[in-house]
Structure 1
């Protein structure tokens, strides 16, 4: 079977039914893994708990969530208590047998905590030591393979876990790319709220149809925000074993089907479709 990883973005709640419809039409003919974030739900949970939403900007311009211990707890509450049940319910309503997992389950996502992170504060760079962010250092796909053997769709979210059992926040795009690489996926679909990677960020019609891995790597410093993280993660996925990564619009009708027909930006191969 063709192996497809679908990154279901937290910003695409309004079109979640369309994504679920497509997965329902494909899951019996393809092996599918869903990886999701939950930025809106995390922000809501952080606010309800009376915490501050904070970010860190690295010296090279990457922006990530500042995940101190209370924020990590809020993140886990939001992912497993809000976002994931909603996705599971959407899929179940369409007859898809899905199982929710975090990166901690079954040793799925092994991480190393970034114990000291350099971040920009105004005109200075400081070292942050209370951030529970992690880098992915290993993926154990056995639990994913077991679920596919049972005819079920894994639905996976952060956090990951260190060797000594510490939960760490991992960017969901990077998690999806790490899973796609370890699983040697035929296609990783990174859904977002733009038509793809744009040559001009202010012109939705400037979608770049395809990029080689080398071209994508060179483009990363010119990108900003979430797109920069997606393309950087795509480069990593291709280097690790994924066959192709596609950055595509999750807001359109039948977004998965449209992506598999070649919409968005395909990184790593030509304009071949599955």
Structure 2
């Protein structure tokens, strides 16, 4: 029997409900192959502030907002995710009997990137070219290290950054990393946990969750979305085009969030699937 493959994107804003997410993963991991991918926005912001660095963002001409990652900020980002966020997640899982292994996209050549040598960003009324941003574009994922860990009965916990062919670390969005891994690994389900009930028809109305979207509908909806949700849906569209079977944008704040998602909560993007 084929073992279901699930990628769980554990959002950095969901620290308070980490125990509930870990409980669900612990209940599932022996019958499923699970990869956890996480960001760490809150820990990164705290680390950046402690180091006295400015918190800066870039807004692309089409409205995507990303972290401005110069060399000091990239170092702070790696310190925060590998030194704060990831150990906390691994500890939560270990306390529930899950043998978890923390990785970055650099380890084992897992996430290969190309550095964006120049990016266009909006500054006031003008658009300028930024050349010192150490952001990357994901160009490949080698899933062998994930399969090797699963073969040993271990659960991978992965975070940015990725790495270029020349060995340079580059920052990549954690949602995009989760989607790229899900696509390359041909996951049955990618769960993108967030702090909303799902994709909302009206961003001011939490009760307006869209139950399901085709890939084409999700692509058409992108201009109406903003902030992190726009990034999530854009990444979901890419994941479905690359090999993931279904993507679900779901609420990570609820009781038993993984179980609720597998029962159909949130917004399912892609083909209809049955609960795993």
TM over 0.5: yes
Residue of structure 2 equivalent to 1:50: 52
| Equivalent of residue 13 in structure 2, options 11, 14, 20 | 11
SS in 1 for 2:90: helix
Residue of structure 2 equivalent to 1:113: 115
Q: 2:179 matched to 1:177?
A: yes
Post-superposition Cα deviations, 1:121-153, rounded to whole Å, max 9, x if no partner, equal 000000000000001000000000000000110
Q: 2:199 matched to 1:197?
A: yes
Unaligned runs of 5+ in 2: none
Q: CA RMSD in A?
A: 0.5
Distance 2:41 2:223 in 1: 24
Distance 1:243 1:271 in 2: 9
Residue of structure 1 equivalent to 2:147: 145
Distance 2:272 2:198 in 1: 15
Q: Is the CA contact 1:197–1:227 (under 8 Å) kept in the aligned structure 2?
A: yes
Post-superposition Cα deviations, 1:47-90, rounded to whole Å, max 9, x if no partner, equal 00000000000000000000000000000000100000000000
Post-superposition Cα deviations, 1:214-273, rounded to whole Å, max 9, x if no partner, equal 000000111000000000000000000000000000000000000000000000022632
Residue of structure 2 equivalent to 1:223: 225
Residue of structure 1 equivalent to 2:89: 87
Distance 2:100 2:273 in 1: 30
Distance 1:217 1:163 in 2: 31
Residue of structure 2 equivalent to 1:154: 156
Distance 2:273 2:206 in 1: 20
Unaligned runs of 5+ in 1: none
Q: Is the CA contact 1:109–1:136 (under 8 Å) kept in the aligned structure 2?
A: yes
Residue of structure 1 equivalent to 2:131: 129
Residue of structure 2 equivalent to 1:66: 68
Distance 2:194 2:205 in 1: 16
| Equivalent of residue 32 in structure 1, options 31, 34, 38 | 34
Q: How many residues align?
A: 274
State TM-score, norm by structure 2.
Answer: 0.99
Post-superposition Cα deviations, 1:158-185, rounded to whole Å, max 9, x if no partner, equal 0000000000000000000000000000
